[in-house]
Structure 1
Amino acid sequence: MSTPTAINEEYDIVIAGGGTAACVIASRLASADAKLRILLLEAGPATYNDPAHTQPLNFLSHLAPDSRTSRAHVSQPSAALGGRTTTVPCGQCLGGGGSINFMMYTRPSASDYDDWETVYQNPGWGSKDLIPFLRKIETYQVPGGGSTHGTDGPLAVSPGGFFSDLSRQFLEVTRTLDPDRAQKPDDTDTNDLETINVYTSWPKWMNAETGTRSDVPHNMIYPLKDTRPNLHFLTGVHVAHVTFDDENRATGVAYALNPLLHPDGPRTTRTVRGTKLVLVSAGSFGSPGILERSGIGAKDVLERVGVKQRVDLPGVGENYQDHNVLFIKYFAADESQSLAAIFRNEEGAIDAAAAEFGKTRKEISTHNSIDAGIKWRPKPSEVAELGPEFQEYWNSYFANAPDKPVLWMGMLATLIGDPTVVPPRKYFTLGVFTEYPLAHGHVHITHADDVSAPTDFVPGYFESKADVRPLTWGYKFMREVARRMPHFRGEPPVLHPKFAPGRPASVVAHAEGPVPFDAPRIVYSEEDERVLEEFARAEVATTWHALGTCAMKPREQGGVVDAKLNVYGVRGLKVADLSVPPGNVSANTYGTALVIGEKAAVIIAEELGIKGVV
């Protein structure tokens, strides 16, 4: 393996994008066939042994406004969000989102993958087919893991090295406040693709032996540097478009230096040939953009930017999906094990924590702040509380799928959000996100050649009332949890709804401690509910789980690729990343990106006659 400054003119396989799935595919294929020439092109920087990627504590640094490892996509203003825009950052470095994310280990429900096979007509993509890949990728270091987990894969999953007192309090309160969902032992595996409604500690993509992040580059790409000279990767380059011959077969890609990383470099475009396959793996924002700049997409989208249409494929860039989240912030006691001061870097707190990293592998620097949560599915009485719009959605989607949760709710032992709007002190955050929002949007290019041009992005958040009520319900329930936690010290007024003063729902700006456990729950008036909905529309945000924009489903249903990941209407071109899922998954999406990479590697190996990729 090498990182050549001057790459070859021709490879067997050219991969446009260097994120999670791309790295899995490149590693598996290069390892199986030392003669297969593979080039991986990535827009962002390399990550090798960079503490920003390897040390868990540093994950929020990638969301900074000046980050060079993520790219922010700003949406069009939305009436459903009170006229505001929303921003979705995406990984832009070798390893993609898996090298900068929160490291939260969550698997979907089995029915999510089964829907890919049955509802969207993709043979070979059901849960029975994908569970072997889930096992293959991981070494599960969490006690109590069942038969769906792996024991000798390249990526480690562990409880992490540090468990905060805030998370312990969260579990104690939720299990007492909601006893119907607290009847299983602490080591219950909630990531077996079927268990839901259990308050539990939450595993992480971290190696318990080293305390480091488990990402693909450090475990599957960089280790090949001395044994696989056939694998090349080039970072800091944008792929502009795919090249084709006269018979609509993909022949390679055109690329140029990323000006963010090479401000003084030449602005010329170069091409590289892929004689056996061109694979697009640039993520839910990048992959549809590459296809559209290559003339593959909807006629009106391409005409607006002056791209000549090669293939009429109106599904490109459509079907955008995400999980919608509210992060609800609270003041924490000074003695709590909150990471807020470290994330704020008060008096060099990050440097101090980093200096301790690795000494015992249980330091706070091995923490990602997320220790506990629940995949929550409502009881019948709670379904009624979620309103008539959601009731209709429940009947059509959830009622006959008992493994599908509606919300994830959990603890983050820090402040998630802008630290400049609140005083410097300790905080905790309770997060609530919808697992299958009805929201669908689109992602399209706005320029024929400029890869850095802003995206025409519409996320679709909250355009359905059925997406609003679960989150406002979650706000109210998490608030009851927070105010019973021993380390609760109040609610930052600027970060909560503007309830009228003197009412039961009014924000408590300062508290000496929690309310009595048997205190009555807050009753919200109709006006309070209106204020809460306005707050939710003003605050709902991305979970960084974008998917679906090159959906794997029949062409006549808006599909972009078939079950073998081939792009409709051309030959020699596949897409494999989080843009291909046709339907949402009830999980953080890193694990699904890994599975797509593993499955794609097998598909490609079978087509090329390569042995050893199973």
Structure 2
Amino acid sequence: MTIPHTIEAEYDLIFAGGGTAACLTAGRLATAFPALSILVLECGPTTKDKKEHIQPGQYITHLAPTSKTMQFNVGKPSEHVAGRSSIVPSARCVGGGSSVNFMMYNRPAASDFDAWETEFGNVGWSSKDLIPLLQKAETYEIDPKKSTHGSDGPLKVSFGSEISDLAKEFVEIGAKFEKNRPETDEGNALNVESINKFFIMPKWISKDGRRSDVPHAYIYNNPAKKLSVFDGTLVHRVIIEDGVAVGVEYQFDNRVHESAPQDIRVVKARKLVVVAAGAMSSPLILERSGLGAKDVLEKAGVTVVAELPGVGENYQDHTLTIAPYIADDKVKTLNPLWRGEPAAWGQALGEVGERWGGNNGSEVRFTQAPWTIKLTTHTPATSTDSSKCVPYPEELPELGPDFLEIWNSTLANNPDRPLFWMSTAAAMLGDLAALPKLNFMCSAALLGYPASRGRIHISSSDPLAAPDFEAGFLSSPADVAALRWAYKKGREINRRLPSFRGVFFPGHPQFPKGSAALVEETAPAIDLYIRQTVVTAWHSCGTCAMKPLDKGGVVDSKLNVYGVKKLKVVDMSIVPSNVNSNTYSTAITIGEKAAVIIAEELGGSV
């Protein structure tokens, strides 16, 4: 047996988990406090200088079932999704989602942050506090002088290598068809000016075509000598003595280090333990540590240290629907790459090989309901068209009475919030080997504020045991009503695109033979289709919510876990209410804010 890392007996700060927020916070603190010894324990593999993490086009390969950079969380079968089990991947590597995500530069609304303060009492978490931290983290290479964007941060934002023709068509035609939703060059200003507009969405990619991930920006080139980031180290639990977190138990993860010894080890923390394993894993670490609902802990054979019934509850995500269409053969799409066509491979390898290295073009397979997807390990980094839509008052009757739950609770008094955002993808998300050789494109709609909630809990004290997970997708009729409207919007726009050559009917609602619904869709067929095909958007959050204890909270506004000293949670699990965008921006914000909070408690600043 080989010991992969030499881990000392004691550090000042220990991070249990090495995802986006953890790496950012640890990197900031290591720079500000070089004498501080900081340990980051990540169960997944390192990402340092690996092509599959540097080259933007390789993002899709991380969803392969053999992937070592993803954890696939299988939910219980649910009638709300037509009896299916929702599978929710979560990052399992250094840098977390920043190292494997789709890199979409999609930011939340200012009111999303404001709600954390006004509705949940988290002083210091309003938009006026957090937007400067977002700016601090980024360089908006498209126009660094634009309001609310950053000009000298370590993470770069651009349009990537190219803007696809389909993206341009979607924005142009969408703005013409939806006459009250014009085209704009700014869809991420975090205000009402970005709502009900069509725009080209930037990416977390530098102008020279490299992924902007957190570990390469904050960790790997950090000169701090006392910052240690170790991969393949699985945290079992936090050690709590007399109400104080004093360290963690861990073992080397043989999914990363096959020949490592499997004994349980202990490392102590002089000042602070930070649980930062993400929305899917942080609540499980807390529960294995004795922090959670009494019935959950006792059922799993764990002694109760502090009763926190909110741990693992409040699970939220963004539900996603994807509808396939047929594009003109002359339009450039990703389909040839995903079919593994040699000519397309040669071009893609030529584009990225000189700058960031090249692989051998091997294929991978993975399953993402409702289709099996066959993809290659290189895809170009194209920008995405988008529209952040919310119904105008005159459009509300189109959504029906079920939708009012979302409208009244979330949107009516927050004009900077979209109901959903939609786009057209230049590819077919399906098993291309089993389909006609057509030039596919897809319309995607992502619901920003689902009313549905789920939960995730331990099923055992064993850290390798599958969790007891209920995604909760579409358990609220309001979500179905919203996605029904989104599907209709996407279909109406896509069939008007110059490149549109037809609907790929197997991937759409199945209407009765002879029905006029091919023109005028009926709600029952669309609703069934949504329940049969809706999937995760990989945006898990909320399972260790930052809100009052009596309202199901797990941490306070300083990220301290209730009932335990010297223990914080720093990741997307602390979000008390959802944000309308891809969660990378929010994870960055949480990491920057946590660094500020911890630095102040250490008597300094970052």
What's the TM-score, normalizing by structure 2? 0.93
* Alpha-carbon shift at residue 367 of structure 1 (Å): 3.7
Q: Please name the residue that 1:239 is paired with.
A: 235
Q: Please name the residue that 2:316 is paired with.
A: 321
CA change 1:18–1:316 in 2 (3 A) is same
Q: Please name the residue that 1:443 is paired with.
A: 456
Q: Distance in 1 between matches of 2:341 and 2:321?
A: 26
Q: Please name the residue that 1:512 is paired with.
A: none
Alignment pair present for 1:19 and 2:31: no
CA change 1:43–1:351 in 2 (3 A) is farther
Q: Distance in 2 between matches of 1:494 and 1:267?
A: 48
* Alpha-carbon shift at residue 334 of structure 1 (Å): 2.1
Give the residue type in structure 2 aligned to 1:219: A
Q: Distance in 2 between matches of 1:444 and 1:350?
A: 43
Q: Distance in 2 between matches of 1:556 and 1:200?
A: 42
Q: Please name the residue that 2:360 is paired with.
A: none
Equivalent in 235, 245, 261 of residue 250 of structure 1: 245
Q: Distance in 1 between matches of 2:484 and 2:75?
A: 23
**Within 5 Å, which residues of 2 pair with 1:539-550?**
539-550=533-544
Structure 2: 5+ residue stretches without partners: 357-376
Equivalent in 228, 248, 252 of residue 224 of structure 2: 228
Q: Distance in 1 between matches of 2:133 and 2:17?
A: 22
Q: Distance in 1 between matches of 2:102 and 2:516?
A: 35
**Within 5 Å, which residues of 2 pair with 1:28-177?**
28-143=28-143, 146-177=146-177
Q: Please name the residue that 1:515 is paired with.
A: none
Alignment pair present for 1:430 and 2:427: no
Q: Please name the residue that 2:509 is paired with.
A: 497
Q: Distance in 1 between matches of 2:79 and 2:523?
A: 19
- Give the secondary structure class of the aligned counterpart of 1:481: helix
Q: Which moved more, 1:192-201 or 1:543-552?
A: 192-201
Q: Please name the residue that 1:485 is paired with.
A: 497
- Give the secondary structure class of the aligned counterpart of 2:501: coil
* Alpha-carbon shift at residue 609 of structure 1 (Å): 1.3
- Give the secondary structure class of the aligned counterpart of 2:572: coil
* Alpha-carbon shift at residue 418 of structure 1 (Å): 4.4
Equivalent in 576, 585, 594 of residue 579 of structure 2: 585
CA change 1:389–1:305 in 2 (3 A) is same
CA change 1:153–1:523 in 2 (3 A) is same
* Alpha-carbon shift at residue 350 of structure 1 (Å): 4.3
Q: Do the aligned residues in 1 keep the contact of 2:160 with 2:383 (CA within 8 Å)?
A: no
Q: Distance in 2 between matches of 1:287 and 1:354?
A: 38
Alignment pair present for 1:259 and 2:224: no
Give the residue type in structure 2 aligned to 1:287: S
Q: Which moved more, 1:372-381 or 1:495-504?
A: 495-504
CA offsets per residue over residues 150-206 of structure 1, 9 Å max, x none? 100000011222111111111121011111111x5x423433343211101111100
Q: Do the aligned residues in 1 keep the contact of 2:334 with 2:379 (CA within 8 Å)?
A: no
Q: Distance in 2 between matches of 1:273 and 1:344?
A: 51
Q: Distance in 1 between matches of 2:244 and 2:329?
A: 63
* Alpha-carbon shift at residue 343 of structure 1 (Å): 3.1
Q: Do the aligned residues in 1 keep the contact of 2:337 with 2:378 (CA within 8 Å)?
A: no
Q: Distance in 2 between matches of 1:415 and 1:191?
A: 31
Give the residue type in structure 1 aligned to 2:154: P
Q: Do the aligned residues in 1 keep the contact of 2:155 with 2:217 (CA within 8 Å)?
A: yes
* Alpha-carbon shift at residue 557 of structure 1 (Å): 0.4
Give the residue type in structure 2 aligned to 1:36: L
Q: Distance in 2 between matches of 1:144 and 1:180?
A: 29
CA change 1:157–1:42 in 2 (3 A) is same
CA change 1:339–1:170 in 2 (3 A) is same
Q: Do the aligned residues in 1 keep the contact of 2:339 with 2:433 (CA within 8 Å)?
A: no
CA change 1:189–1:170 in 2 (3 A) is closer
* Alpha-carbon shift at residue 251 of structure 1 (Å): 0.7
Q: Please name the residue that 1:509 is paired with.
A: none
Q: Distance in 2 between matches of 1:289 and 1:418?
A: 34
Q: Please name the residue that 2:398 is paired with.
A: 385
- Residue identity over aligned pairs, in percent, reads 46
Q: Distance in 2 between matches of 1:72 and 1:323?
A: 17
Q: CA RMSD in A?
A: 2.0
CA change 1:358–1:43 in 2 (3 A) is same
* Alpha-carbon shift at residue 146 of structure 1 (Å): 2.5
Q: Please name the residue that 1:517 is paired with.
A: none
Q: Which moved more, 1:417-426 or 1:369-378?
A: 417-426
**Within 5 Å, which residues of 2 pair with 1:269-308?**
269-308=264-303
Q: Please name the residue that 2:363 is paired with.
A: none
- Give the secondary structure class of the aligned counterpart of 2:279: helix
CA offsets per residue over residues 218-255 of structure 1, 9 Å max, x none? 1111111xx2220001101211000122x211111111
Q: Please name the residue that 2:374 is paired with.
A: none
* Alpha-carbon shift at residue 396 of structure 1 (Å): 3.5
Alignment pair present for 1:401 and 2:386: no
- Give the secondary structure class of the aligned counterpart of 2:315: coil
Alignment pair present for 1:565 and 2:559: yes
* Alpha-carbon shift at residue 417 of structure 1 (Å): 4.3
* Alpha-carbon shift at residue 606 of structure 1 (Å): 0.6
Q: Please name the residue that 1:606 is paired with.
A: 600
* Alpha-carbon shift at residue 422 of structure 1 (Å): 2.8
- Give the secondary structure class of the aligned counterpart of 1:285: coil
Q: Distance in 2 between matches of 1:47 and 1:465?
A: 41
Q: Distance in 2 between matches of 1:189 and 1:376?
A: 11
Q: Please name the residue that 1:8 is paired with.
A: 8
Give the residue type in structure 2 aligned to 1:455: P
Q: Distance in 2 between matches of 1:359 and 1:263?
A: 33
Q: Please name the residue that 2:359 is paired with.
A: none
Equivalent in 329, 342, 346 of residue 341 of structure 2: 346
CA change 1:359–1:333 in 2 (3 A) is farther
Q: Do the aligned residues in 2 keep the contact of 1:369 with 1:412 (CA within 8 Å)?
A: no
* Alpha-carbon shift at residue 424 of structure 1 (Å): 4.3
Q: Distance in 2 between matches of 1:392 and 1:603?
A: 35
Give the residue type in structure 2 aligned to 1:309: V
Q: Please name the residue that 1:511 is paired with.
A: none
Q: Do the aligned residues in 2 keep the contact of 1:59 with 1:368 (CA within 8 Å)?
A: no
Q: Do the aligned residues in 1 keep the contact of 2:34 with 2:224 (CA within 8 Å)?
A: yes
Equivalent in 476, 479, 485 of residue 467 of structure 1: 479
* Alpha-carbon shift at residue 369 of structure 1 (Å): 4.4
Alignment pair present for 1:192 and 2:190: yes
Give the residue type in structure 2 aligned to 1:313: L
Q: Distance in 2 between matches of 1:437 and 1:421?
A: 33
CA change 1:308–1:154 in 2 (3 A) is same
Q: Which moved more, 1:413-422 or 1:482-491?
A: 413-422
- Give the secondary structure class of the aligned counterpart of 2:284: helix
Q: Distance in 1 between matches of 2:343 and 2:466?
A: 35
* Alpha-carbon shift at residue 420 of structure 1 (Å): 5.0
Give the residue type in structure 2 aligned to 1:577: D
- Give the secondary structure class of the aligned counterpart of 1:218: helix
Q: Distance in 2 between matches of 1:190 and 1:27?
A: 26
CA change 1:484–1:356 in 2 (3 A) is same
Structure 1: 5+ residue stretches without partners: 507-521
CA offsets per residue over residues 34-84 of structure 1, 9 Å max, x none? 110001000111111211111111110011111111111010011111211
Give the residue type in structure 2 aligned to 1:187: D
Q: Distance in 2 between matches of 1:271 and 1:193?
A: 47
